[in-house]
């Protein structure tokens, strides 16, 4: 019985530990009804994202992968949470999540090492 438990838990821990984009799943539940989380999809234009989410709190160029990254701050019940939307070189969404653009860049840099 103990062996089965170990065989079930160890691969999960390894995958979580090796993940370059670790995010809290509770954030996905807490902020799931926010327009940026709910409506933004990969391949969407930057103009469409701005219509959905408004102006970001910060826009930065990406150094590891060509493109731009928008930082947003989501607010829900007094809790603030960073959220990024990244765009490829053609201005289309290629990623989003509960990190800052700076954290995204760090993760991408670490994955390339």
How far apart are alpha carbons 23 and 60 in whole angstroms?
Answer: 21
Instruction: Classify 39 as helix, strand or coil.
Output: helix
Please tell me the predicted confidence (pLDDT) of residue 22. Answer: 57
Q: Is residue 49 situated within a structural domain? A: yes
pTM of the model: 0.76
Neighbour tally for 62: CB within 10 Å? 19
Structural domain for 54, as ranges = 23-112
Q: Is residue 61 situated within a structural domain? A: yes
Please tell me the predicted confidence (pLDDT) of residue 19. Answer: 46
Q: Which tens digits make up the pLDDT trace of 93-113? A: 999 999 999 999 999 989 887
Q: Is residue 59 situated within a structural domain? A: yes
Q: Is residue 46 situated within a structural domain? A: yes
Q: Is residue 9 situated within a structural domain? A: no
Q: Is residue 13 situated within a structural domain? A: no
CATH code of the domain in which 91 resides? 3.30.1450.10
Of the pLDDT bands very low, low, confident and very high (cuts 50, 70, 90), residue 16 is: very low
How far apart are alpha carbons 96 and 10 in whole angstroms?
Answer: 28
Please tell me the predicted confidence (pLDDT) of residue 23. Answer: 66
Across the range 60-72, mean pLDDT stands at 93
Of the pLDDT bands very low, low, confident and very high (cuts 50, 70, 90), residue 26 is: confident
Instruction: Classify 99 as helix, strand or coil.
Output: coil
Q: Which tens digits make up the pLDDT trace of 34-62? A: 999 999 999 999 999 999 999 999 999 99
Adjacent-strand bridge partners of 91: none
- Domains: count for the chain: 1
């Amino acid at each position: 019985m103990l062996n089965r438990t170990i065989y079930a838990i160890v691969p999960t821990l390894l995958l979580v530990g090796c993940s370059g984009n670790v995010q809290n799943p509770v954030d996905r539940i807490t902020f799931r009804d926010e327009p940026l989380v709910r409506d933004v999809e990969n391949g969407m234009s930057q103009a469409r994202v701005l219509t959905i989410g408004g102006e970001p709190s910060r826009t930065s160029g990406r150094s590891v992968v060509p493109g731009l990254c928008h930082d947003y701050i989501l607010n829900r019940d007094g809790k603030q949470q960073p959220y990024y939307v990244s765009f490829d070189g053609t201005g289309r969404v290629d990623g989003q999540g509960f990190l800052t653009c700076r954290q995204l860049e760090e993760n991408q840099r670490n994955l390339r090492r």
